[in-house]
Each structure stands twice: as structure tokens, then as C-alpha cells.
Chains A and B, each alone.
Chain A
Amino acid sequence: MKRLKRLDTASDRIVYWFLVMSLVLFTALMLYPFLYVLSMSVSDGAEVVAKSIILLPKGFSLDAYKQLFETKTLITSYSNTIYYTVVGTAINLVATVLFAYSLSRKQFFMRNFLMVYMTITMFFSGGMIPMFILIKDLRLYNTRWALLLPGAISVYNCIIARTFFQSLPEEILESSRLDGANDVQALLRVVLPLSMPIIAVLSLYYAVGHWNAYFNALLYVPSVSLQPVQLLLRRIVIQYSNDLAGDNIIDVGKVYVIEKMRYAVIIVTMLPIVCVYPFLQRFFMKGVMIGALKS
């Protein structure tokens, strides 16, 4: 049926532009804090300390970033974050996909039991302290594994993956079975190539989770050389420590840079994700959809 053509009344049009203007205002509110931080990080040092910047940078200098990348603590923390994100997400993917795939096969005799087994953990958990004791007992305390193993499978992500696998047409798997493929070959040769969308969604969710995590590291990894960049950020911006000054004697010139470095660290920490997420919108929107349907 053809859509009726809408003839706007004057008041309709006013309301419409009011809505559009509110969205513009809304967008500005979302962006402004980040733009301010960016401006403060690239402005001239004296202006930063004088706090005369409102939106646009005054002067231009990348010395905060230069100084930042010469600091050992930042390089170590940033590499740690990259490590945890890459390795962690790989572990997540393997564990989640395997488990979700096995749950998606209707003929699997343990399917229902395992669904219940997994879902219970979503509602009941030991809590902070029993987990802490466990990490210590397993000798994972103060090791990299403490940030890679707990949380290896997120029940929510697993359910999304299972829903996806269940939506794959049965005929394809049937025909592969007729060709004599066992479950392993079916998974590797048939299912996985078709599963790029869900792997993209899972990777995105897990990777962002790893990149932004701070609390587990705070609890389980006291050793600074193993800590991710979020903990460094916490020390710099929340606790206002002067860590980034390193062993340098604090002189007037350095004070400006340290202040700017607080802003620069924020930018550097959020940059990779901010640059990547707009291109992956298709994927995470799909993920939200599947997750919601299941709920």
C-alpha cells in the first residue's frame, strides 16, 4: 500500500525543528567533554595552567604526547592493555564459540543440563571475596592469568552466540554430515566461515571489555609492571599522582607538561576504541538485537 503523503501543518513543522535542535544540543553535550580534553592536551602549557581554554585549543603543542610516549610507565601499561585485549579476546572467542556451538546442537544430550548449569551462574555468584580467595589459592594472584581467565565466558555473549548458531540453516549441516564430516569438521569447515558476523560481535564486546577493565586488575595485580593502562589512568586522573613525572625534578616547565599529560593520557587511552567503533556499528547493533530477542 502506498504511503500517504504527509502535509505538515505549521505547528507540526515548529515541533519538528524543535526536536531536531534538541538532538543537536544533545550531540553537543556528548561531544563537548571529549573536545575539551583534546584541546587541553594540545594547547600551549601556560594556557592550560591558566585554565583559559573553553573549547578550542589555544596555541598548539604536542609536547605532552611526546613526553607521554617517553615515559616508561605508559609504554608498559599500554602494552599490557594491548596484550590483555588481544590474548584475552582470543581466549574468550575460543571458549565461548566452542561452548555456544555445542549448546546449539539439538541432538546434544547434555544440552539442557548445560544451559541450566550456565544460566544459574548469571544469577548467583560467590562475590568479590570468595573470588579473591580463589585467585590466591589458584596461584593466579599477581600474574597475567588473573586478568585473562576470570570472565573467559560471559553468559550473555554465549547466549547470543548460541542463538546465532541455532539460526544457521539445518540443511547445510545435514549435507556435511552426509558427506561424512564429524562435528569438528562441520564446525571448522562449514559453521565458522558462515559465522563471521557473530565472531565480529563477540570480538567487539570482549575486546572493549578487556580494554576498559580496571577493577580486576586493581584487585588481583598489585605489581605495576603487569597493570593495564586504565589503572595508570586512575592514578593520574583520579588520584592526581605525579607518576608520569618519573624521576625528573619538577621545574616550572615540567609542571605545565604534567598537567597536560593528564589530559593526554585520557585521549591516548580512549583513542583506539573511539576510532574503531563507528565502523563496527552494524555488528554491535546486531548483537544488541539478538541479545534482546533472547531476553
Chain B
Amino acid sequence: MIEARTNQQGIKYKLYRTGKYLARDRYLLLFALPGIVYFFIFCYVPMYGVTIAFKDFNASKGVMGSEWVGLKWFASFFSSVYFGRLLRNTLLLNIYSLVFSFPAPVILALVINEVREGTFKKSVQTISYLPHFVSVVVVVGIMRLFLQSDGLVNQALESIGLTTVNFFSEPGWFRPLYVISGIWQSCGWGSIIYLAALSGVNPELYDAAYVDGASRWQRVRYINLPSIKPTVVTLLILNIGRLLTLGHEKILLMYSPAIYETADVISTYVYRRGIEDARFSFGTAVGLFNSLCNVALLLAANAISRRVNETSLW
């Protein structure tokens, strides 16, 4: 009897308390409402929509009414002629991007940090941000104009006696162009955070190193680098997660059927099959596979980093 009454009191108390909270925080709730609705409609509903990867989506029946087909689309994708190529391109492009574009902002930050002239330093930094503020369409556009068959680069090649190169039709050029333009666009902006970390180093450390007779290189190696290591590792992990998702915006502007061999990645394939060919279920299945790869890579990178560095995202 007593337990029953306490239980009832428990529930009543919780309701009473919730009511109190609702009243006290009613305006905060009002503020939060647009956000709650926004995330629900534009993030959680599509998350549910992913289930069409397991169904045969029919627009008239909607997401819920479409028939269940299990792993049919996944099987179809894995056994497809393109699967190997897509997987290889996606992984290689991302690994190359990561390996080559990661050091650039760090090195830039280290070099800028050594400079003493204030105005020069500031101007270099300001100019280095310029490519970041320009859109990907502009970056690829400028690249195309430079690398046209009669563009500057080919003119230069001709003038020293080499044959012209058709940069956007040769599969072998795609990856270097993608990575180099990526570095060009992002190294300035990326260096901001490392410069901030470097500026937090205790000057007494530098003085101590000077007294001990350390050369510039030794100073960098033993003071600067360790002080930014946590930042570097954290950003590395974050970048792994981000790279795999936005690649398609730039690749779509750079590729053409002639270079699908190296340029076609999973997300561009999703765009072609899923949107252009309107094969919604199939496209979603492939996209889901891509996301799962991302998550796996993120977890792996985090686990490695935890083992090596005691730094982790969570």
C-alpha cells in the first residue's frame, strides 16, 4: 500500500515539477522552438528517410508505404562493375587530400610565426585567407581558365618545347589538381588556428632555449611543434570526418565522363544515379554505405589517436 502511494506521489511529483519548469522557462522554450522544429524537419525526418535504402521507393506510396526489399540495393551496388573503382577513388582521393593538405597550414603557421615585422606578417595572413572566401565555383573556374588547351599553363609548356596537356580530360591529372587546388584554397584559413596556438607559447621557453644555445630549427622542433600537437591531432580527426562528405561539390565541377576512372567517387555516383537518374532507393543505399564508411574511418582515427596520444574527440 505504502509503495503504491509513494509511486503515485513519484509520478505526480514529476508531473508537477515538469509543469513548474514549463512555466518558469516558458520563454526559453519559445526561443528553442524554431530550432527544435528545424532540426526535426530538416535533419531527423531525412534520417528516417534513409530507410528507403531498404525499400523500393515509390513516390506515390511515400517512404512508409513503399515495399521492403532488404539488402537488394546493397547487393546490387557491391556486385556492380563500378564498385571497385568507386571505392578505390573515394579512398585514394581522401587519403591523398589528407596526407598532402594537412601539413601545409601547419608549416605556414610555423613560418609566419617566425616573422618579426608586424605589418608584413599581417598582410601575409590577410592575403592567405583570400582563396578561402572565394567559392568553389570560382576556384575551379580559375583552374579551368588557366589549364585550358590554349591557356597560360599550356602556353608556357609550348614555349619550352613540351607538348600541351589536356588537363581536364586526362585521368592522371585529376587527383593532383584536386589536391593542389584544395591546398591553395585552404592553407591560409587553416593556419589561423595553429598560429593562435603558437602565440600561446610561454616566451620564457624561447628565452631558455636561446640561453641553452638552441638553433632556430631546434627551437621549432622542441618548443613549437609540441605546443601545437594537441591542436593538430584534434583537427586531423575532425578533418577526416568532414572530407568524405563535401567532396562531391568540387568534383562535380571538375569531372567529366572521360575521367570517371579516377574522378568518380561514391558521392558523385550517388548524385548521378540517385538524382539525375532518379533511382532514389538505390542512390540512398549507396549514400548510406558512404556515411557508414565515414563513421568507421572517424572511429578508427579516433581510436588510433587515443592509443598514440591520449588525445581524443570525446
Contacts and interface: CB of A to CB of B under 8 A. Distances in A.
5 smallest CB-CB distances across A and B, nearest first, come from: A126-B46, A130-B49, A99-B35, A212-B135, A237-B141
Contact of A233 (B141, B193, B249): B141
Interface of B: 18, 21, 24-25, 27-29, 31-32, 34-36, 38-39, 41-50, 52, 57, 59, 62-63, 108, 111-112, 114-115, 120, 123-131, 133-138, 140-142, 144-146, 150-152, 155, 184, 188, 192-193, 196, 203-204, 207, 210-211, 215-216, 231, 234-235, 238, 241, 248-249, 252-253, 267, 270-271, 274-275, 280, 283-284, 287-288, 290-291, 295, 313
Interface stretch (A70-78, A102-110, A241-249): A102-110
Interface residues of A, number: 91
23 contacts: A23-B120, A23-B124, A26-B108, A36-B152, A37-B142, A40-B145, A102-B35, A105-B28, A109-B25, A114-B32, A133-B57, A133-B63, A137-B62, A212-B137, A215-B248, A233-B137, A238-B137, A238-B140, A273-B134, A274-B130, A281-B125, A285-B192, A285-B196
Contacts of A103: 32
Interface stretch (A58-66, A168-176, A181-189, A250-258): A181-189
Interface string A259-291: 000110010011001100110010001001100
A20 B115 contact: yes
Nearest to B125: A281
Given A101-B31, A126-B47, A187-B31, 4 more contacts: A29-B184, A99-B35, A124-B47, A126-B45
Given A31-B127, A98-B34, A212-B134, A238 B141 contact: yes
Contacts of A151: 42
B35 A153 contact: yes
B287 A3 contact: no
A238 B253 contact: yes
Interface of A: 1, 3-4, 6, 12, 15-16, 19-20, 22-23, 26-27, 29-31, 33-34, 36-37, 40, 51, 54, 94-96, 98-99, 101-103, 105, 107-110, 114, 117-118, 121, 123-134, 137-138, 149-153, 158, 182-184, 187, 208, 211-215, 219, 230, 233-234, 237-238, 262-263, 266, 269-270, 273-274, 277-278, 281, 285, 288-289, 292, 295
Nearest to B197: A292
Given A130-B49, A182-B27, A266-B142, A95 B34 contact: yes
A16 B112 CA distance: 11
